[in-house]
Structure 1
Amino acid sequence: MTVSRTAPEDQDSDKTRAGIQSVEVGFALLEVLAQAEGPLMLRDLAASAGMSAAKAHRYLVSFQRLGLVVQDNASTRYELGPATLRLGLATLSRLDAVKMARERLPALMEKTGHTLAIAVWGNHGPTLVHWQESPLAVPVNLRLGDVMPMLSSATGRCFAAFIGNGVGADRARAMIEQEMLLARKLGRTDVPTTAAGVRELVEHTRAQGLGQGVNVLLPGLSGFCSPVFDADGQLSLGVVALGSSATLDTQPRGTVAQQLLSMTHQLSADLGWHRA
């Protein structure tokens, strides 16, 4: 009688192709959280992932241990945890545009003397993914993973003006509507509170080629954000320069803004973008 034997390497190959189904099933929960507007109750999270609440809870317990998910003790809602942020930032840092931008920041800092950052469009809006602080910088309460507001930050204004109709445009419009509503409630006069005001801000930002914020995000803090475009002319990321309003040259034709524009124009060209 002939016995058919499978070589060990063939068995390993079969296992690799088969995968681990429970990992794939559990990942559905992470995908739902990544696409959600905010934290979710267990029943809503489970329903969106197409599984029972009991089954979802078992996965969430393991995900909490790994730091992939966190649960608010007061509301009992679930949200993505710090481990997912680290994974996301690591992935983004490997994208060519982000890597190329990071490599050019030291030279830009030498020219400007101010803190620099890189922002990309994330699930919840323009998100800081790299931070390079100047030794002379004033302390700023911002950190990696922070989502910048669309109307009261140089970064948000840059994305509002240049995101076009690509991925994230609908989310950008929704964020702008929410921020206008909040600004009206607070009686703010330093950010647009009407659609006409937003159009004026966007047109002004496009005309000067970069977003600008003077004492609107935080008191005493000013900054610029210049767009970087890919070969298809889509907004790839924004390069940010921040500093004290007392020391940062806040003129759009000033040294900081022009050095920033020069760097981002060159980076866009290196990514294949050709200005019209």
Structure 2
Amino acid sequence: MPEDLKLAGKEPAGTSTLDLALRALEFLAHESQPLSLAHIAEALSASKATIYRHLVTLQRHGLVSQDPDTGRYEVGVKLLVLGEAVRARFDVVAAAREELMRLRDSIGQAVTICRVVEGELVVLDLIQGRTVVEFGTRPGTRFDLHASAHGKVWLAFGPSALLQRTLAGPLPHWTPSTITDAGRLAAEVELVRRQGWAAAADEMITAVNALAAPVFDHRKHIAGSIAIVGATQFIPSPPDAVQLEKLLAAAQAISRGLGWRANR
């Protein structure tokens, strides 16, 4: 270990350096106009030379930009892009919460909302049903794309590369009903695309079924998927018409809240 990191009571140099760079970025983000190097350095109680080095690094990564005429600094476009990417993940949860509560209350079964994040299908929220059985699924839980109703929805309405990668990869065998044949999965996904919803009775857990539907944003891109989940005695296969109708109505309501319009 470098000698300077062994000094008692001292933070590693990288930590304090990163801290100052992030403070500079946050400071610029909260300002309404570009600022001079001297102004930024004074506000952060640091030397102009130190702040300049941080700004150059942030600028190289697109997080800060410099006006070529005035030399003043402001946040870069990339910061906005990153913010939008993260916001999209959580907007769907906020937009969906009230509808999911209504769906749970009308059907009595647990409801979940999922999203694909960095290639993985992740549970964003779960509202327990009003039955004696509770599910251990929690936000952050990962589902297999090929073995879940949520996953089939994403394979049907998500990026084509997601389907291609899933079909080319291993398809783990969870139960005797899990689809592990690529050709059969492709046909199932095509059916989901045509009908607008997916089911997965006994495919991940025996005696458990889920009905899932896509949620779209203002660009008509899939922004999430919602599902009702419960024992197969309560969510049969083929699905109950009333349950399916309420699920699809909730998905459309959430989509409208995200700016989706059917006739656009």
Closer/same/farther in 2, CA of residues 189 and 231 from structure 1, 3 Å limit? same
* Structure 2 residue matching 1:198: 3-state secondary structure: helix
After superposition, give the CA deviation of every residue in 1:231-261 in whole Å (9 maximum; x if it has no partner).
1111100012100111224434522221110
Report the equivalent of 2:165.
Answer: 174
CA distance in structure 2 between the aligned counterparts of 1:108 and 1:187, rounded to whole angstroms: 28
- 2:218 is equivalent to residue 223 of structure 1: no
- Aligned equivalents of 1:147, 1:119: Cα separation in 2: 9
Could you say which residue in structure 1 is the equivalent of 2:51? 18
> 2:90, 2:179 → 1: CA distance?
33
The count of residues paired between Structure 1 and Structure 2 equals 197
Residue by residue over 1:92-151, the C-alpha shift from the partner in whole angstroms, topping out at 9 and shown as x without a partner, is: 697322211012211111111000111011124111011111131523342221121111
Distance in 2 of aligned mates of 1:125 and 1:19: 39
CA distances 1:9-30 after superposition (whole Å, capped 9, x unpaired): 9612575993996xx99xx9xx
SS at match of 1:214: coil
Whether 1:114 and 2:109 are equivalent positions in the alignment is yes
TM-score by length of 1: 0.61
Distance 1:95 1:271 in 2: 11
Q: 1:232 aligns with which of 219, 239, 250?
A: 219
- Bigger shift: residues 220-229 or 266-275: 266-275
Partner residue in 2 for 1:211:
198
Give the 3 Å change call, closer, same or farther, for CA 96–188 of structure 1 in structure 2: same
| SS of aligned partner of 2:200 | strand
Pairwise CA RMSD: 3.4
Distance in 2 separating the partners of 1:145 and 1:18 = 38
Q: Work out the CA distance in 2 between the residues paired with 1:9 and 1:188.
A: 63
* Aligned mate of 2:148, from 153, 156, 178: 153
1:203 CA displacement: 1.5
Q: Structure 1: give runs of 5+ residues left out of the alignment.
A: 1-6, 29-90
2-structure distance, mates of 1:117, 1:18: 46
Distance 1:219 1:253, change over 3 A: closer
Name the CA distance, whole Å, in 2 between partners of 1:225 and 1:125: 17
Matching residue of 1:126 = 121
Displacement of 1:275: 2.6
Of 193, 203, 207, which residue of structure 1 is paired with 2:181?
193
> Which residue does 1:57 correspond to in 2?
none
Write the distance in 1 (CA, Å) between the matches of 2:40 and 2:114. 44
